[in-house]
């Protein structure tokens, strides 16, 4: 049994998920990009999630979110299932779209970690030698939308959704910079400076090594059935939290206390005894008749 995840309100997250066998099932042509933005925008609106930035590469995506209500697991489940069904219908396949492991969900504990992950996601196509500048990535590109002040828009994919169904004909995704991070213009400028620094570093790297970028045209020529020719990366850690030490340590201690309280409450509940589960209990609170401690007034 996996460890229970504590779901709190007013939290920042970085969500990453990869396609099965590293296939280019998210190849960023116009149709796939429309599908990705449509499913993301619909899921975010349905569950009240603020999307700060998304970057959908050919075989994975990074999406930075703010969850004010504690609905993040439902959002992730709905978004990934909807996107998988829609893309499978597009490609004429019926197997799993996503890799077998669970999506990587990292809670971002402080402002510095949020800014760092925003810059990381924005610059990922540059780091992967796909394009020279982050704004050139042809797929769902939240960085380009942020720096140009544009709203991401998508129309209902008619190959999958019924014309007479209740899914919206058109959706918009306004990328949000929550007030807690500071003025929107300053946050965007900080992200832009970090991405520019990465672009310059990768230019020097290419000049030194002679490596070339794939380029927009090269990316779009790739078959959706193909996979990278590079060796499969060695499994790395999947961090539950990201932040400075002074933020990580209290978060880890709090999570450890949550696990202990959850374990005690579960034992009592299974024994038929009165039990109150700790704040943040998610799965059992959603699927079983349990009692959970009330949210603190500050939440």
Sign of CA dihedral 37, 43, 44, 46: positive
Dihedral-angle region of residue 117 (phi above 0 means left; psi in -120 to 50 means alpha; beta otherwise) = alpha
Do the beta carbons of residue 170 and residue 155 sit within 8 Å?
yes
Q: Which residues contact 178 (CB under 8 A, 6 or more apart)?
A: 12, 50, 52, 66
Check pLDDT > 90 for residue 65. Answer: yes
Give residue-wise pLDDT tens across range 7-56.
Answer: 999 999 999 999 999 999 999 999 999 999 999 999 999 999 999 999 99
* More confidently predicted of 78 and 299: 78
User: In Å, what is the CA distance from 229 to each residue of 5, 16, 22, 44, 217?
Assistant: 35, 21, 10, 34, 18
Percent of the chain with pLDDT strictly greater than 70: 97
Domains of the chain, start order: 11-243 (3.30.70.1290), 247-292 (no CATH)
pLDDT value of residue 181: 98
- Planar angle of CA 99, 43, 247, nearest 5 degrees: 75
pLDDT value of residue 221: 95
Q: Which residues contact 290 (CB under 8 A, 6 or more apart)?
A: 265, 269, 275, 277, 281, 284
Whole-number mean pLDDT of the chain?
94
Do the beta carbons of residue 205 and residue 71 sit within 8 Å?
no
- Alpha carbon 268 to its chain centroid, in Å, reads 36
The two tokens of residue 8 are 């709190």
Closest C-alpha to 155, from 143, 172, 166, 169: 169
Pairing of strands 50-56, 60-67: antiparallel
Helix (H, G, I), strand (E, B) or coil at 92: coil
Q: What is the pLDDT averaged over residues 138-151?
A: 96
Helices (H), 156-244: 184-209, 215-221
Check pLDDT > 70 for residue 266. Answer: yes
Please state, in angstroms and rounded to a whole number, the distance separating the CA atoms of residues 173 and 171. Answer: 7
């Amino acid at each position: 049994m996996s460890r229970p995840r504590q779901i709190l309100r007013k939290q920042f997250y970085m969500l990453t998920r990869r396609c099965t066998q590293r296939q280019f099932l998210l190849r960023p042509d116009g149709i796939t990009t429309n599908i990705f933005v449509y499913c993301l925008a619909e899921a975010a609106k349905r569950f009240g999630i603020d999307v700060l930035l998304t970057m959908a590469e050919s075989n994975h995506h990074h999406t930075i979110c703010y969850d004010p209500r504690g609905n993040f697991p439902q959002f992730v489940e709905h978004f990934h299932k909807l996107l998988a069904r829609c893309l499978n219908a597009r490609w004429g396949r019926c197997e799993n779209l996503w890799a077998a492991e669970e999506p990587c969900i990292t809670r971002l504990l402080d402002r510095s970690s949020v800014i760092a992950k925003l810059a990381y996601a924005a610059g990922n196509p540059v780091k992967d030698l796909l394009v020279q500048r982050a704004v050139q990535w042809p797929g769902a590109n939240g960085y380009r939308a942020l720096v140009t002040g544009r709203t991401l828009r998508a129309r209902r994919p008619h190959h999958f959704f019924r014309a007479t169904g209740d899914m919206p004909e058109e959706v918009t995704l306004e990328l949000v910079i929550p007030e807690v991070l500071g003025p929107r213009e300053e946050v965007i400028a900080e992200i832009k400076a970090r991405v520019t620094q990465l672009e310059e570093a990768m230019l020097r790297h290419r000049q030194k090594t002679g490596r070339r970028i794939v380029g927009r045209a090269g990316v779009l020529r790739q078959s959706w059935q193909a996979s990278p020719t590079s060796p499969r990366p060695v499994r790395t850690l999947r961090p539950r939290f990201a932040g400075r030490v002074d933020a990580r340590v209290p978060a880890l201690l709090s999570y450890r206390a949550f696990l202990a309280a959850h374990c005690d409450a579960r034992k009592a509940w299974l024994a038929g005894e009165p039990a109150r589960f700790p704040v943040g209990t998610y799965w059992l609170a959603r699927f079983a008749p349990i009692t959970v401690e009330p949210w603190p007034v500050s939440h």
